[in-house]
Amino acid sequence: QAATMRLNENILLLGKKVVLVPYTSEHVPRYHEWMKSEELQRLTASEPLTLEQEYSMQQSWREDADKCTFIVMDAEKWQAQPRTTEESCMAGDVNLFLTDPGEPSLGEIEVMIAEPSCRGKGFGTEAVLMMMSYGVTKLGLTKFEAKIGQGNEPSIRMFRKLHFEQVAVSSVFQEVTLRLTVTEHERQWLLEQTSHVEEKRYRDGLSESR
Ligand SMILES: CC(C)(COP(=O)(O)OP(=O)(O)OC[C@H]1O[C@@H](n2cnc3c(N)ncnc32)[C@H](O)[C@@H]1OP(=O)(O)O)[C@@H](O)C(=O)NCCC(=O)NCCS
């Protein structure tokens, strides 16, 4: 199971508003710029890294057996012709972690729409739906958790709209845990929500079919 997390290395997922592509070194400079924002550091509970640390982080994520990362691209920009650089289409990222070796069907999901101009347009929603559908169909996941800072109302609302329910509050970490159990009904809903998504081969920033 664990080794399957490298499954997304050569694929991209094409949605309506966003395209999910694997996180490569090409994406690191923009990612690093985003993470200089104190607001994003606070909202995502991240420590600032040097550019060099960010490159090694990208490398280790890629090799990590229990993590799956996609960069969220603005689909409209990404599909425009003539093609702009992939870096200029980046909107954020979405991650899945297998946090509990004793519970391999549980995935922790994280999303960040880092580009302010990309927020509030449904990008976060579609990215999470696509990632959950990927987790269910490719990784055999049946439960998702999101840990969100107590004050992060936009994120809490988004996950609630995606059928997550609050299961715990940590006053120590000032975060809430939301959970979604994928029943047969939820599975059908998820697959319907993502029935438009196409999987393609991804190589060096290019979709082979273009
Ligand atoms: C939270 C976040 C992922 C939402 O993504 P998004 O693409 O902006 O959100 P969407 O457009 O898909 O909106 C989905 C729902 O989220 C909620 N939401 C989004 N932005 C909101 C805001 N500014 N205020 C209140 N609710 C908001 C709404 O319920 C919205 O549904 P609606 O439009 O029908 O009201 C994104 O704003 C973000 O990354 N913020 C900064 C980093 C962060 O907080 N990450 C989460 C860490 S766990």
Asked whether 91 lines ligand 1 (CB < 6 A), one says no
Distance (Å) of CA 175 to CA 29, 110, 148, 178: 29, 13, 5, 10
Task: Name the DSSP letter for residue 69.
Answer: E
Asked whether 156 lines ligand 1 (CB < 6 A), one says no
- Mean pLDDT, residues 166-191: 96
Helix orientation angle between 153-161 and 123-139, rounded to the nearest 10 degrees: 50
Looking up tokens 């880092």, which residue turns up?
Answer: 114
Q: What is the pLDDT of residue 4?
A: 56
For residue 144, count other CB atoms closer than 10 A to its CB. 27
Question: What tens digit of pLDDT does each residue of 78-111 get?
Answer: 999 777 889 999 999 999 999 898 999 999 999 9
Asked whether 69 lines ligand 1 (CB < 6 A), one says no
Q: Which two tokens stand for residue 52?
A: 């060099």
Question: What tens digit of pLDDT does each residue of 32-43 get?
Answer: 999 999 999 999
Which ligand 1 atom is at minimum distance from the Cα of 119? 8
Ligand 1 centre distance from Cα of residue 13 (Å): 21
* Smallest CA separation from ligand 1 atom 44, residue: 43
Q: What is the pLDDT of residue 208?
A: 46
Phi, psi for residue 120 in degrees, rounded to 5: 70, 20
Question: What tens digit of pLDDT does each residue of 125-176 get?
Answer: 999 999 999 999 999 999 999 999 999 999 999 999 999 999 999 999 899 9
Q: What is the pLDDT of residue 9?
A: 83
Contact 27, 86 (CB under 8 A): yes
Helix orientation angle between 123-139 and 184-193, rounded to the nearest 10 degrees: 120
Q: Which of 70, 119, 153, 156 to mutate to test the pocket of ligand 1 (most atoms within 8 A of CB)?
A: 119
Asked whether 151 lines ligand 1 (CB < 6 A), one says no
Which ligand 1 atom is at minimum distance from the Cα of 120? 11
Q: What is the pTM of this model?
A: 0.94
Please report, in angstroms and rounded to a whole number, the separation of the first and last CA atoms in the chain. Answer: 32
Average pLDDT, the chain: 92
- Mean pLDDT, residues 45-52: 94
* Smallest CA separation from ligand 1 atom 15, residue: 158
Q: Which two tokens stand for residue 118?
A: 């990309």
Q: What is the pLDDT of residue 62?
A: 86
Q: What is the pLDDT of residue 5?
A: 63
From CA 99, how far away is CA 143, in angstroms rounded? 12
* Smallest CA separation from ligand 1 atom 5, residue: 124
Does the CA dihedral 149-150-154-160 come out positive or negative? positive
Q: What is the pLDDT of residue 3?
A: 46
Residue 6 pLDDT greater than 60, yes or no: yes
Q: What is the pLDDT of residue 204?
A: 56
Contact 61, 8 (CB under 8 A): no
